[in-house]
Amino acid sequence: MTKDVVCVNEEATVEEAAIEMRDRNVGCVVIVDDEDKVVGILTDRQIALQCVAEGQMGGDLMVSDIMTPDPVCVTTEDNIFTLIETMRTTPNLPRRIPVVDEDETLVGLVSVSDIAVVAKALIDEVLREDLRNSLELVEVETGGKRILEEIGGAMNGTGFLGATGGKTGGRKGGKQKVTAGGRSGGTRRSR
């Protein structure tokens, strides 16, 4: 969630809103009243399609003329699944949704990009947990502690050939020479 939301009031012109978007490098502004209650949202796409493409001048239009009035909002109490369902079921599939507190005061803005970051982190965690569970099963079934160390090292970037300077799960104290094609003929050198 972005907490530093770019806001304008209903009396702002579309040109003023566009300048704010450009200067702050954002794709939308939230339109709020004097009490920071959300009354609308205006995106760069709306400006392009409803203003520029229609040949209207942004300085002559008020944000209230082309904004989405009374946009769907989520609260600080909602979880990511509620947020996704809200986005999915709202007409026109909004890419950004304002977040309000219990007093309906704007506190942030959540975008599809924010959801993608959280989704990736959740997927990564599920995959890590699945791998941990699989490794525990391998250890129980084979007593293969060394394989667990190798795979576990790969999970945190220190395992497998090349990543540890050529160490392998082979014989104690030995090294295998590694080439681009893999192990070379089993040549071993002592330490």
CA gap 101, 122 in Å, rounded = 25
2 found inside a domain: no
> Does residue 181 fall inside a structural domain?
no
Specify the range with the lowest mean pLDDT, choosing from 45-49, 94-98, 155-159, 167-171.
Answer: 167-171
Instruction: Count structural domains, the chain.
Output: 1
Residue 134 lies in a domain: no
Sheet-wide strand order for 68-69: 7-8, 28-32, 38-43, 68-69
Name the band, by pLDDT with cuts 50, 70 and 90, for residue 18: very high
Work out the burial of residue 18: count CB atoms within 10 Å of its CB; fewer than 13 is exposed, 13-18 middle, 19 or more buried: buried
pLDDT value for 41: 97
> Domain containing 40: what range?
7-110
User: What CATH code is carried by the domain that includes residue 56?
Assistant: 3.10.580.10
Letter for the amino acid at 140?
V
Q: Is residue 90 part of a domain?
A: yes
Across 43-57, 60-74, 143-157, 163-177, least confident range: 163-177
Report yes or no on 149 lying in a domain.
no
SS3 content of the chain, % helix, strand, coil (to 5): 40, 25, 35
Whether 40 is in a domain gets the answer yes
- Give the per-residue pLDDT at 187: 43
Establish if 19 belongs to a structural domain. yes
pTM here is 0.64
Answer with the residue of higher pLDDT: 148 or 119. Answer: 119
- Range with the poorest average pLDDT among 95-109, 122-136, 162-176: 162-176
The reported pLDDT for the residue numbered 93 is 84
- Considering the domain boundaries, does residue 172 fall inside one? no
Question: How far apart, in Å, are the Cα atoms of 6 and each of 17, 36, 148, 154, 188?
Answer: 9, 12, 50, 43, 63
Strand partners, 32: 38
- Higher-pLDDT residue of 139 and 158 is 139
The H-or-E segment that residue 47 falls in is helix 44-47
Write the pLDDT tens digit of every residue in 108-138: 999 998 888 888 888 888 888 877 777 676 6
